[in-house]
């Protein structure tokens, strides 16, 4: 079994706080993890209709039935339960009394922030990270294999063909969540929207243009994007706000939390299809940004991550704002380093004051080098980027 890096941080939080919340995509391993690290806790899943009705109609009796410490999974189904949990933990003052989890981030967070402020530690668990898997029996030699397969644990645990499983995942979870949240009837248009999003990884979001292609309004596209973010399918990377006396792009860029899901939506059948596809470079960029974000989140760090674009002339793919310093990361899928890979970094450094040794070029090869323009990292060595 793959050991999840975030597990130790969750255990430490449960020794101090009465409630620990673990959120993340469906099938990212939340239930498995919390049951593994808290084996003595009673486990209840509110996907179970009987348990859900018990919690809805008799919340005090439901909590009393759990005993001293419990795991409550998919708690977003009964958000009113959080108010009763607040009363109970305030009265009993037991560290680690409740471990709660849910798959709908924004809905869960709104309920948590209203009811459990100051009483809860919150963790985001994404699918496996490259750091977790690279030294295991599941490790693969080429980055294309990871991009195509993605990182959902079930695919690895059961040695599944990723494409049909990921397409079933869209139908089973994402479309169901959409129905629940927005009551959408035209799932065909929504599937087309998903496919368009996958084809536009790493591009600036244009709501009107996507709406015209799908045949729905700007407002509908905005709502659908919100649902995909809520369900941990996509995220938007915002542009860095400081202009350094240059006109900058102000529109966010779109990325998928899992590149395997994007490959399935692009109808890629294998890594050969990936190698021939126009979006290979964008998918590699998405893969690297995901892994850098996972390295932070797995340590309960929430990075201020942006991209920077000087009016389309020069772009930094990922810019980490660490308060006292900026860390620019340029990402290239090629396996051979060429001089033009450093152009954006060389343009950005004198504007921002960032030194070459604190600038990073991540590429599709294996070498780690300190060059005069930047620190060069092969795609396996992302742990060298400071957190």
- Convert the pLDDT of each residue in 9-65 to its tens digit: 999 999 999 999 999 999 999 999 999 999 999 999 999 999 999 999 999 999 999
Q: Which residue has the higher pLDDT, 107 or 335?
A: 335
> How far is the C-alpha of 313 from the C-alpha of 326, rounded, in Å?
20
325 lies in a domain?
yes
| Same domain? 323 vs 338 | yes
pLDDT confidence bin for 150, thresholds 50/70/90: very high
pLDDT confidence bin for 231, thresholds 50/70/90: confident
Beta-carbon contacts of 149 under 8 Å, excluding residues fewer than 6 positions away, are 140, 155, 162, 260
Task: Write out the H or E segment, with its range, that includes residue 319.
Answer: strand 315-321
The number of beta carbons lying within 10 Å of the beta carbon of residue 384 is 11
User: pLDDT per residue over 333-359, tens digit each?
Assistant: 999 999 999 999 999 999 999 999 999
| Same domain? 80 vs 189 | no
pLDDT of 106 strictly over 70: no
Is residue 65 helix, strand or coil?
A: coil
> How far is the C-alpha of 236 from the C-alpha of 258, rounded, in Å?
13
Task: Write out the H or E segment, with its range, that includes residue 30.
Answer: helix 30-37
| Same domain? 158 vs 227 | yes
Which range marks the domain in which residue 348 is found?
304-384
How many structural domains is the chain composed of?
A: 3
Is residue 186 helix, strand or coil?
A: coil
| Same domain? 155 vs 219 | yes
| Same domain? 334 vs 240 | no
> 187 vs 27, 218, 359, CA distance in Å?
22, 17, 44
| Same domain? 246 vs 344 | no
| Same domain? 59 vs 199 | no
> How far is the C-alpha of 55 from the C-alpha of 138, rounded, in Å?
40
Which pLDDT score, from 0 to 100, does residue 98 have? 98
Is residue 123 helix, strand or coil?
A: strand
| Same domain? 180 vs 153 | yes
Q: What is the rounded average pLDDT for all residues in the chain?
A: 92
User: pLDDT per residue over 260-313, tens digit each?
Assistant: 999 999 999 999 999 999 999 999 999 999 999 999 999 999 999 999 988 667
Pair of tokens at residue 73 = 């999974």
209 lies in a domain?
yes
| Same domain? 136 vs 213 | yes
138 lies in a domain?
yes
Pair of tokens at residue 41 = 């806790």
Task: From 79, 97, 124, give the residue that closes a domain.
Answer: 124
Which pLDDT score, from 0 to 100, does residue 30 have? 96
Task: From 282, 314, 340, give the residue that closes a domain.
Answer: 282
Pair of tokens at residue 78 = 């009964």
289 lies in a domain?
no
Beta-carbon contacts of 187 under 8 Å, excluding residues fewer than 6 positions away, are 175, 178
| Same domain? 96 vs 239 | no
31 lies in a domain?
yes
Q: Are 108 and 84 in contact (CB under 8 A)?
A: no
Q: Select from 239, 245, 386 the least CA-distant residue to 327.
A: 386
Q: Which long-range contacts (CB under 8 A, 24 or more apart) does 87-90 make?
A: 88/63, 89/18, 89/19, 89/119, 90/119
**CATH number (domain holding residue 111):** 3.40.50.300
Q: What percent of the chain has pLDDT over 70?
A: 95
| Same domain? 45 vs 72 | yes
With a threshold of 0.85, does the pTM exceed it?
yes
84 lies in a domain?
yes
314 lies in a domain?
yes
Task: From 106, 124, 142, give the residue that closes a domain.
Answer: 124
**CATH number (domain holding residue 173):** 1.10.10.10
| Same domain? 278 vs 341 | no
111 lies in a domain?
yes
């Amino acid at each position: 079994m793959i050991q999840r890096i975030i597990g130790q941080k969750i255990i430490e939080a449960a020794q101090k706080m009465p409630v620990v919340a673990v959120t993340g995509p469906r099938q990212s391993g939340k239930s498995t993890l919390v049951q593994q690290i808290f084996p003595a806790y009673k486990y209840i899943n509110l996907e179970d209709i009987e348990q859900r009705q018990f919690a809805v109609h008799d919340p005090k009796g439901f909590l009393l039935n759990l005993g001293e410490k419990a795991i409550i999974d998919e708690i977003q189904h009964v958000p009113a339960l959080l108010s009763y949990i607040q009363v109970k933990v305030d009265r009993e003052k037991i560290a680690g009394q409740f471990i709660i989890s849910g798959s709908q981030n924004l809905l869960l967070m709104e309920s948590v922030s209203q009811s459990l402020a100051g009483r809860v530690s919150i963790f985001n668990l994404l699918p496996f990270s490259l750091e977790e898997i690279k030294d295991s029996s599941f490790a693969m030699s080429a980055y294309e294999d990871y991009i195509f397969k993605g990182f959902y644990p079930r695919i690895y645990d059961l040695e599944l063909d990723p494409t049909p499983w990921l397409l079933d995942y869209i139908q089973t979870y994402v479309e169901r969540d959409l129905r629940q949240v927005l009551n959408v009837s035209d799932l065909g248009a929504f599937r087309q929207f998903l496919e368009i999003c996958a084809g536009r990884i790493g591009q600036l979001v244009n709501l009107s243009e996507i709406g015209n292609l799908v045949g729905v309004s700007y407002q509908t596209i905005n709502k659908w994007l919100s649902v995909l973010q809520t369900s941990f399918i996509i995220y938007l990377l915002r542009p860095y706000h400081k202009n350094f006396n240059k006109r900058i792009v102000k529109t966010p860029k779109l990325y998928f939390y899992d590149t395997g899901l994007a490959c399935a939506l692009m109808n890629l059948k294998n890594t050969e299809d990936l190698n021939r596809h126009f979006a290979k470079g964008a998918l590699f960029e998405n893969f690297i940004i995901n892994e850098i974000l996972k390295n932070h989140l797995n340590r309960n760090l929430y990075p201020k991550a942006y991209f920077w674009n000087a009016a389309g002339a020069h772009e930094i793919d990922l810019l980490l704002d660490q308060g006292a310093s900026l860390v620019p990361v340029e990402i290239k899928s090629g396996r051979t380093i060429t001089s033009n890979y450093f152009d954006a970094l060389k343009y950005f450094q004198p504007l921002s004051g960032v030194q070459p040794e604190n600038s990073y070029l991540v590429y599709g090869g294996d070498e780690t080098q300190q060059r005069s323009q930047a620190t060069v990292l092969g795609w396996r060595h992302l742990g060298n980027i400071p957190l």
